Amino acid sequence: MASAPHLLNALKERNVRLTRQRRVVLDALAVSGNHVRAEDLLREGRKRDPNLDRATVYRTLAMLKEHGLIDELDLLHLDGRGHYYEMRGHQDHVHIGCTECGRVTELHSPIVQALLDEVASHTGFRATSARIEVQARCPECAGGNAREQR
């Protein structure tokens, strides 16, 4: 439990009401890895509160997103039409998805910040977050023609 102390504290500071259900969703977020779908969170959360409702999960995700505490991705819809969520870390990173095998890799790079600076200086928009999703072929799929499974 309390597996997401950072988020819990952030919500307290912002005077967001801490309901049992919200704690459950936060726990589910912490337990699941990155790139979780809403339905996964619902299933995971119901292990702790079997009455947890689909709408509550969506409403909680929307709230967390508004507060900038999670990011929403769709990983280029390489697999289905849903969206994915992950807790926001210290800095934005790049998501790279292979169009053939579906593998997703992350890359942290200072160039991301450089890009945001460029955005600010050229357009005057002050960025609050960035989503960078690169479509690619991974070394395995590009090299041999070995078919991987997903």
Q: Which residues bind DNA (CB under 7 A)?
A: 15-22, 37-39, 49, 51-56, 58-60, 62, 80-83
- Closest C-alpha to 71, from 132, 13, 5: 132
Cα(112)–Cα(92) distance, rounded to whole angstroms?
Answer: 7
Backbone angles phi, psi at 72, to 5 degrees: -110, 130
Report if residue 9 touches a copy of itself, rule: CB under 8 A: no
Cα(7)–Cα(138) distance, rounded to whole angstroms?
Answer: 33
Report if residue 15 touches a copy of itself, rule: CB under 8 A: no
Q: How far is the CB of 109 from a copy of itself (least distance, A)?
A: 5
Q: Interface with a copy of itself by CB under 8 A: which range of 19-27, 35-43, 49-57, 90-98?
A: 90-98
Token representation of residue 97: 């998805």
Beta bridge pairs of residue 37: 84
Q: Looking at residues 59 to 98 of the shown chain, list those that interact with Zn ion (rule: CB under 5 A).
A: 74, 86, 98
CA end-to-end span of the chain: 31
Report if residue 111 touches a copy of itself, rule: CB under 8 A: yes
Gyration radius (Cα) of the chain, Å? 17
Interface residues with Zn ion (CB under 5 A) are 34, 74, 86, 98, 100-101, 106, 138, 141
Interface residues with a copy of itself (CB under 8 A) are 68, 72, 74, 76-77, 83, 94, 96, 98-99, 105, 107, 109, 111-112, 114-116, 118-119, 122-139, 142, 149-150
